[in-house]
Structure 1
């Protein structure tokens, strides 16, 4: 039986459709993702915490839901918006339909929406607060808009503490261990430790509340700053912890939210983007080589600055090393006098693309060079 539903935006725009997933109400920031595949990874990415995700691909759910591809142990999106859900999933790994999984996890969604029109509206007006209402939660447009306007904004939201691991855990290296890394969990995706482990890295995933003593107790060869949700301006502790790592010249690599944390530790501000970058087809240019990578991204905040800009920090010279040619958004930071670099995109992307996967090799090279430098210093 069809159950009516509505997506209501804070500017008063209402999109009608039918319930998909759980029946109820949800509130969050409505954003669009341009990925043609990988909806399970999107739903389970902690970086989407408190966001209502609109899939621009017209048909979603074709491959159902399996128990292997999640980027965490649960779905994190606040709500889900699709145009044409698959009637029957078809994949040898599928365990159940996407609709059934959304119901099981209590994710409120809506189907039958003109997602092309909705995406154009968000591109023109910017990401905004919204709500999905279905069944008995449907009310007058004025009442639903009022509920949306009462919900918190994404700017100023401290969300990493909601998604970080409560306890530290270890992902062992595959084969012989080459390095040990302390990974600060700001909302880490499961594939990140796997990508490091495949390169002989033992990964100690630590809670956001970890101190410098906690990191040093791991005796790390390097430190990793993960992706995550919310406003990086709220992460005072993570920024100060990063500064302590830089002072000790421990090799550091960050992605996505971690890129913003490193940038702030080096003295740069961040800002809220109009509608952000979310999808698996976003170009990035390396200013040093001119090489273009097609990347997976999910961020609504970015670092201030100009592509290729060099500036001085408390830790020496810094280069804004990568940018997106679509809008000149900064996509990478490289410290030139201490061993630290980061990117705004996802080299661990699942289901892809994999253009940037070699950044994990670069991190391993950085740890190897730093270990060699330490040995020569000790010998002298």
Structure 2
């Protein structure tokens, strides 16, 4: 196998083995701590513009399963693993991870010290990096190259992940109880219609709504409040997505109009949570190295109960900026950052983590039931 090199913006170089496509790519280098769920990570639009490092040492052991994809394609810029499993074992496996990366034209590197890399990112913070794969020699580490790496920016992220939702989970079923996802074990949302804003939505958000009997209407990120009002929906779901939330000023303005209307229940997840907060006067800040993985503890302040959550975000709502018409509902047990907000004067709430996590855990799945009950008030 050919060599590959990871070059960080600070000049640090890792030499490893090339996986996936050959070439070079620059992205924001991040790490995720999930032990499973690499399939969902690779197809999650929220990772747009990023080179993703898996801290778990062995990746690819159950291959790639298209039925479980969170979107139509891979949105990451590059992929880093310690050890790549080349012989996956799962009866649903359609192709290997390496085959998937080649198919999606994603450059990757394996056989490097991912623990050392993670420590660098934790100490210095998220930084840009470049993967150069399929070559036996590392390019010269000069000021020109490092400047090129440092100058990379993730821009227009939400716009660039549009039309990536898969068709399988929804199809806007007229008879939700006939959907393959519907089950009577959850809150009854039959007869209710939810508009799902696609900011880079994961398919499982829609599956969870359909599982409760809702008819889901996926709408583009730039849908206006007037258009939502004309649709006569029972509720609005603000999805996850990539990039800096404050960049989406037009969307935030339309969400503010929706909040001022006060008649349509709103549930925000991840980026949707952040933009809902911005629409109500809060502020967001970029975290040092973000929260990514399936093992992040969050505490519900009302009950004192701790849940294990799946997360994927590099920005957070500033606790001190939460407006007077709202209150913190969840906080991160590790660093105390905002993980959820409940609003007092509008039918809305939001969480930073992912209650729809398809790769698990499912501890906070009940939040969808809470939303469904709001639709009947």
Same fold, TM exceeding 0.5? yes
Task: Please give the per-residue CA displacement for 1:59-85, whole angstroms capped at 9, x wherever unaligned.
Answer: 001011122111000011100000010
Task: Please give the per-residue CA displacement for 1:281-325, whole angstroms capped at 9, x wherever unaligned.
Answer: 00001111111110000000000115xx9742xxxx210211101
**Residue of 195, 200, 203 corresponding to 1:190:** 203
CA contact (8 A) 2:309 2:363 kept: yes
Q: 1:32, CA displacement in angstroms?
A: 0.3
3-state secondary structure, aligned to 2:67: coil
Q: 1:144, CA displacement in angstroms?
A: 4.0
- For the residues of structure 1 that align with 2:311 and 2:94, how far apart are their CA atoms? 27
The 5-angstrom pairing of residues 132-281 of structure 1 reads: 132-136=131-135, 138-142=138-142, 144-152=145-153, 154=154, 157-165=155-163, 170-172=171-173, 174-175=176-177, 177-249=190-262, 250-281=264-295
The 5-angstrom pairing of residues 1-380 of structure 1 reads: 2-136=1-135, 138-142=138-142, 144-152=145-153, 154=154, 157-165=155-163, 170-172=171-173, 174-175=176-177, 177-249=190-262, 250-306=264-320, 311-312=323-324, 317-369=325-377
Q: 1:183, CA displacement in angstroms?
A: 1.1
- For the residues of structure 2 that align with 1:129 and 1:3, how far apart are their CA atoms? 23
Task: Please give the per-residue CA displacement for 1:317-363, whole angstroms capped at 9, x wherever unaligned.
Answer: 21021110100110011101110000000000011000010000000
**Closer/same/farther in 2, CA of residues 274 and 86 from structure 1, 3 Å limit:** same
- For the residues of structure 2 that align with 1:69 and 1:336, how far apart are their CA atoms? 37
3-state secondary structure, aligned to 2:228: helix
The alignment's C-alpha RMSD in Å is 1.8
CA contact (8 A) 2:71 2:164 kept: no
3-state secondary structure, aligned to 2:375: helix
CA contact (8 A) 1:62 1:89 kept: yes
> Aligned residues, how many?
359
- For the residues of structure 2 that align with 1:310 and 1:158, how far apart are their CA atoms? 26
Task: Please give the per-residue CA displacement for 1:194-230, whole angstroms capped at 9, x wherever unaligned.
Answer: 1000111111111111112221232110111000000
**Closer/same/farther in 2, CA of residues 23 and 277 from structure 1, 3 Å limit:** same
Structure 2: 5+ residue stretches without partners? 179-189
Q: 1:252, CA displacement in angstroms?
A: 0.3
3-state secondary structure, aligned to 1:301: strand
- For the residues of structure 2 that align with 1:64 and 1:166, how far apart are their CA atoms? 21
Structure 1: 5+ residue stretches without partners? 370-380
Task: Please give the per-residue CA displacement for 1:75-107, whole angstroms capped at 9, x wherever unaligned.
Answer: 111000000101311111111110011011100
Task: Please give the per-residue CA displacement for 1:4-29, whole angstroms capped at 9, x wherever unaligned.
Answer: 11111111111110101111111110
Q: Which runs of 4+ in 1 moved over 3 A?
A: 166-171
Q: 1:171, CA displacement in angstroms?
A: 3.2
CA contact (8 A) 2:125 2:288 kept: yes
Question: What TM-score does the superposition give when structure 2 sets the normalisation length?
Answer: 0.92
